[in-house]
Structure formats: C-alpha cells, structure tokens
Amino acid sequence: MVIMTLSPVTTALFDLFFFSQRLHLMQILGMGVTISGVLVMVLLDRGPSLVKELERERKIGLLFAILASVLQSVSFLLAKFALEQAGPISTNLLRNLGGLFAFIIFNFFYKKNAKKQIQSFRNPRFFILLLFAAFAGPVLGMSSQMKAFTLAPIGIVTTITQITPVLLLPFDHYILHKKLTIFSLGGTFLSIAGVAMLFLAA
C-alpha cells in the first residue's frame, strides 16, 4: 500500500509527458500532503511489525508492488485516451470486460482452477456481498473516477482516490472496534488537509 500510494506521482508525471498537463505549486503541495498522510497511516501506524514483514518478504514482492503502481498509472492514462472517444460509462465497461477476459485466460488456461472459482458462487451470502461490492467499486466507483478524469488532472484525481485508508478508519473503530492511534489520527488530518488544498487550488 505504501508503494501504491506513490502511484499519483507517477500518474502526474505521465500526464505531464503525454498530455502536457501541468500542475500548480498549490496542487503539487496538496498531493504531497495527502500522500504523506496516507504514508503516516500505512507505515508508522503499524510500528515494528512492518519492519519484520519487510525482512521476511522477498525482494520480488517489492518489484511487483512497483510494477503494479506503474501499470495502474498507465491504465489510467490509456483510459483518458479512450475518454476522448467514449464516455465514462463505456470506458469503464471496456476496462471491466478486459479484466474479465484476462481473468478467464488466467484461471482457465494458466491456473486451471476455474471450476473451483465458480463453485464459490454457490454460497448465497458470498454471492450477494460480492455483487454489492462489484456494483459499488468497479461500476459506480470506477465510472465516477473515469468521469473525474474528464474534469480534473489525472494526478489530482488519483491522489484523492488514494485516501481509502482514511475513509476506512470509522469502519475500523466502530465496527471492528480497533483502537485509533496518534499516527492514524495524524495521518487522517494530513490527508484531509491535502485534499482541502487540492480543492482550494482547483
């Protein structure tokens, strides 16, 4: 998550190169403050356990995270090219169909466990929860993000969408009954301040 949080920076650089989309100083500062808030939450809030995890994990995991961050930026830029010809809903639909096609190839021909994956849908509760999750995220969420790409610089939109850990804090506190630390609260205020700076600079 720490590396994926840096995705807006990569996206902003690609946006500058391909679309000549320059950011104002206030926007750059807002992006930096927002990302800093998420980094504080994800990195410092976990304490020594994260260091142990980094010692256990292989370096290839770090490479995959970097690759995921760059590919996410590339996918957003390609989507912006598509948005010039199609609307947000159509662009998002094509993205989802592409993901479904890749999923079918991966599970049917590479992992060869498609039958096991399909059997999991027999659980009604699992299926309903997954249906709502798909509607909320890939349908409504990504369609809204595609629309935002037509109205604001990609780097700013991507930065705002990276504050998911902040939005999950109430769920952690009231549903999972997790104690909020000074790092989680500090990261929250930093992220909110960064997003406010982005809106003021718009």
pLDDT in tens, 13-63: 777 777 777 778 888 888 888 888 877 876 776 555 554 555 556 677 778
- Total count of domains within the chain: 2
Instruction: Tell me the per-residue pLDDT of 163-179, one tens digit each, with 9 for 90 and over.
Output: 777 777 788 788 888 78
Residue that terminates a domain, selected from 128, 149, 170: 149
Q: Whole domain around residue 96: which residue ranges?
A: 88-149
Q: What is the dihedral of CA 127, 162, 196, 139, to 10 degrees?
A: -40
**Do 109 and 142 have their domain in common?**
yes
**Do 81 and 123 have their domain in common?**
no
pLDDT computed for residue 140 by the predictor = 92
pLDDT computed for residue 184 by the predictor = 79
**Do 164 and 65 have their domain in common?**
yes
pLDDT at 135 over 80: yes
**Do 4 and 30 have their domain in common?**
yes
- Over the range 95-124, which residues count as b (16 or more CB within 10 Å of their CB) and which as e? beeeeeeeeeeebeeeeeeeeeeeeeeeee
**Do 1 and 81 have their domain in common?**
yes
pTM: 0.69
The two three-digit tokens of residue 171, written as one number: 């769920």
